[in-house]
A and B are shown apart, each in its own frame.
Chain A
Amino acid sequence: MATLLPVQYAKILYTLLHEAKDKEVSDVLKVFVTLLHKDQMLLKIDYIIAAFEKHAKKEDGIREIEITSARALSAKSITEIVKPFGKNVETTVSVDKSLIGGVVVRDGNIIFDASIKKQLQELTRSLA
């Protein structure tokens, strides 16, 4: 039986906790875990927790930016890249040599791709 997605459970939990008073929190969690058990979703608890974190951050106005570059970036360039995304930003930086050069920035569901790899791919596509 198709139940809800982890994202949807996370949203439910967030709304519940948001409305609950401090004393009620443990009760809410207890009910929530029972619900997960009933829906046979306890296996997916890791996904739900991850989704909950993501959702909570989004609700609090924090943007998660993932930066991937071909070579390690200096702190200055990172701040430069992050600037247009506003103040409440959490960045994860990683290095991927296959990009050849340039950076790829991911903001939620949107990817800004300024890597050499992508440019070459576009070039091949336009020449084909």
Chain B
Amino acid sequence: MSHTDKIIKELKKHIASFQTDVQTEEVGTVVEVGDGIARMSGLTKCQSQEMLEFEDGTIGVALNLEEETVGAVILGDFTSIREGATVKRTGKILSVPVGEKMIGRVVNALGLPIDGKGDIKEDDFYPVERIAPGVMTRTPVDTPMQTGIKAIDALIPIGRGQRELIIGDRQTGKTAIAIDTILNQKGQDMICVYVAIGQKESKVARTVRVLQQAGAMDYTIVVSAGASEPAPMSYLAPYTGCSMAEYFADKGKDVLVIYDDLTKQAWAYREMSLLLRRPPGREAYPGDVFYLHSRLLERACNLNDQNGGGSITALPIIETQGGDVSAYIPTNVISITDGQIFLETNLFYKGIRPALNVGLSVSRVGGAAQIKPMKKVAGSLKLTLAQFRELEAFAQFSSDLDADTKRQIDLGRRMTELLKQAQYAPLSVEHQVVSIYAAGQGHFNEIPVNDVKAAEKRLLELADRSYAPILGSIKAGEWSEEVQTGLKALCEEFKTLS
């Protein structure tokens, strides 16, 4: 028998025994399509949060399971979906790709790349909605997460695993603080996830550019749901970012997630809920808008060593209208988070940047998230600033004031000047300690207020040049006699130079 015959015979044998696999699918019919939502009949066994596939491959998520219909949001283009079209169940809960290869990329709310650098090979799929880690898996926050911003690291310290809200009106530098924090994580063994929700594409492009130029994209993932994308994408993006962060936290890494901003997510959720005909409540938000944010922010955690020891630090951003923090969404998120950084328009225009309101900003975790030297020098700073605020009103009568009050006002002015910081210029913790120490000890008192910044620069240059070992010890968290005498000597030398 020739070779060909053998093959033919073999082939015939296979054909004779060929059986097709029958794929069983459960389907429904679209009865109504609206802005980004669809209602479908059929789909009797559909689960909540299940992915549905429309005829053109667009994905939907079932949210409302009603007696006759299923209400779903459409993740993608809904213009091609028509009444009467067939919808398939996928049997999968909405999940997104996660993995190491995501780092350095810009992805959309579904985890698909939008930076034109080709496909991303995922390591795993994580469900978008995950239950937050429980009590037994957590440990108190004890490691600092340095933002590189003097005013924050000294007065409102943030720890790894904390949730610190950044709140303020538009154009007060909320995003700037978040970006500076990402830039300062270079070499800190931290992975950053920046979630841009409902932002202008141009702003996202600018942010990505800044991160690239500073080399921060080497440890950052950007998740973007643009302003032109349908509302469900904005609703989903924070959860997607959080799932990506959880992948690394599960591996024992420290992760920082920034949600910029949750106000827009709440808007998107309101839009979806109203279209899905859920009853509106205060400010037309649905009743579960609190749970929308609490279940997201609760996923920030500091895991104990038995659970890998990873952490997720969350920096949610909320935009207020006219400084009104008592609106619905701001009060909700303030109550969920472990403190807030409050930014004010009038401070911003006074030239105090970052425009941090030191009095209203708090961190509930506080000192536990500071290294010892910082704790020591920041204590007096807090007091000085509080006294300065009380006396500030009298500052204009400076000629009639007693010497003591005048001294306090002068010190307060210099401290305020010292806490100003340029954008994209994060400062390492040891440098922060040196400059706050010097100011606290009154070494800037003879310098005119306008020259404080320049003097600080000279001081830090001197420290880098001649006192590197002291800086090293401060960074390691030491506050010994040796370090203190070193700092004293540094200040003396600085004084003789200037």
A93-123, CB < 8 A from B: 102, 106, 108-114, 116, 118-119, 122
**How far apart sit A2 and B69, CA to CA, in the bound complex (Å)?**
13
Q: What is the bound-complex CA distance between A110 and B42, given in angstroms? A: 9
A2-B277 Cα distance, complex, nearest whole Å: 9
B44 at the interface (CB under 8 A from A): yes
Chain A residues, Cβ within 8 Å of B68 = 5, 7-8
Q: Which residues from chain B contact A114 at a C-beta distance below 8 Å?
A: 20-23
A110 to B25, CA, bound (A): 6
The interface residues of chain A lying within 8 Å CB-to-CB of B31 are: 5-6
CB contacts under 8 Å to A, within B26-76, are 26-28, 31, 41-44, 68-69
**Interchain CA distance A116-B42 in the complex, whole Å:** 26
Q: Which residue of A lies closest to B119 (CB)?
A: A128
**How many of chain B's residues touch chain A, expressed as a range?**
10 to 19
CA distance A116 to B20 in the complex (A): 8
Chain A residue contacts of B326, Cβ below 8 A: none
Contact with B along A1-16 (1 / 0, CB 8 A): 0100111100000000
* Any A CB within 8 A of the CB of B24: yes
Contact B43 A113 (CB under 8 A): no
Report yes or no: B41 in contact with A5, Cβ–Cβ below 8 A.
Answer: yes
Chain A residues, Cβ within 8 Å of B277: 2
| B20 contacts across to A, CB distance below 8 A | 102, 114, 116, 119
- Chain B nearest CB, measured from A82 CB (Å): 15
A109: which B residues are within 8 A, CB to CB? 26-28, 42-44
Q: Are B21 and A119 in contact (CB under 8 A)?
A: yes
A110 to chain B, nearest CB (A): 6
Q: Determine the distance from Cα of A6 to Cα of B68 in the docked complex, in whole angstroms.
A: 10
Beta-carbon contact of B23 and A110 below 8 Å: no
Main secondary structure of the interface of B (DSSP, over half): strand
Q: Which residues in A have their C-beta under 8 angstroms from that of B24?
A: 110-113
A53 shortest CB reach to chain B, Å: 15
The chain A residue sitting closest to B43, CB to CB, is A109
Shortest CB-to-CB span from B178 to chain A, Å, is 36
| Chain A: interface size category | 10 to 19
Q: Contacts A7-B41, A7-B68, A109-B42 hold; do A122 and B23 have CB atoms under 8 A apart?
A: yes
- Among candidates B25, B43, B44, B69, residue contacting A111 with C-beta atoms closer than 8 Å: B25
Closest beta carbon of chain B to A127's beta carbon, Å: 14
Task: Find residues 53-111 in chain A having any chain B CB closer than 8 Å to their own CB.
Answer: 102, 106, 108-111
User: Which residues of chain A come closer than 8 Å to B28, judged between CB atoms?
Assistant: 109
Q: Closest residue of chain A to B45, judged by CB?
A: A109
| CA distance in complex: A113, B21 (Å) | 8
Query: Min CB distance, A45 to chain B, in Å?
Result: 15
Query: Which residues A27-50 have CB closer than 8 A to chain B?
Result: none
- How far in angstroms is the closest Cβ of chain A from B153? 47
- A106 cross-chain contacts in B, Cβ below 8 A: 27
Chain B residue contacts of A102, Cβ below 8 A: 20
Flag if A118 contacts B44 (CB, 8 Å): no
Complex contacts, A116 vs chain B, CB 8 Å: 20
Residues of B within 8 A of A5 (CB): 31, 41, 68-69
Contact A110 B26 (CB under 8 A): yes
A113 to B41, CA, bound (A): 20
CA–CA, A6 and B42, complex, Å = 13
Cα A106 to Cα B86 in complex, Å, equals 12
Q: How far is the CA of A122 from the CA of B20 in the complex (A)?
A: 12
> CA–CA, A114 to B18, complex, Å?
13
Docked complex Cα distance between A69 and B498 (Å)? 92
Within 8 A of A (CB), among B268-294: 277
- Asked if B69 contacts A113 (CB within 8 A), the reply is no
The docked-state distance in angstroms from the alpha carbon of A65 to that of B25 is 15
Q: Are A111 and B27 in contact (CB under 8 A)?
A: yes
Please give me the residue from chain B that is nearest to A102 by CB atom. Answer: B20
Query: How close is A90's CB to chain B, nearest CB, in angstroms?
Result: 18
User: CB distance A110 to B69 under 8 Å?
Assistant: no
For B83, give the chain A residue with the smallest CB separation. A47
Nearest residue (CB) in B for A109 is B42
Q: Write the nearest CB–CB distance from A94 to chain B, whole angstroms.
A: 15
Q: Which residues of A contact B25 (CB under 8 A)?
A: 110-111, 113
Complex contact A118–B23 (CB within 8 A):
yes
Cα distance, A2 to B64, chains bound together (Å): 15
Q: Which residues of chain B in 315-338 are interfacial with respect to chain A, using CB atoms and an 8 Å cutoff?
A: none
Q: Are A112 and B23 in contact (CB under 8 A)?
A: yes
Most buried by B among A102, A109, A118, A122: A109
A111 to B22, CA, bound (A): 10
Q: What residues of A have a CB within 8 angstroms of the CB of B26 in the complex?
A: 109-111
Chain B residues, CB < 8 A from A7: 41, 68
Provide 19 A-B residue pairs closer than 8 Å at the C-beta atoms, listed in order of the A residue: A2-B277, A5-B41, A5-B69, A6-B31, A7-B41, A102-B20, A109-B26, A109-B42, A109-B44, A110-B26, A110-B27, A111-B25, A111-B27, A113-B23, A114-B21, A114-B22, A114-B23, A118-B23, A122-B23
Instruction: Please report B residues at the A interface, Cβ cutoff 8 Å.
Output: 20-28, 31, 41-44, 68-69, 277
- Please name the 9 residue pairs, one residue from A and one from B, whose CB atoms are nearest each other, closest first: A109-B42, A113-B23, A111-B25, A114-B22, A114-B20, A112-B22, A111-B27, A7-B68, A5-B68
Given contacts A8-B68, A110-B24, A113-B25, 14 further A-B contacts (CB under 8 A): A5-B69, A109-B26, A109-B27, A109-B42, A110-B26, A112-B24, A113-B24, A114-B20, A114-B21, A114-B22, A114-B23, A116-B20, A119-B21, A122-B21
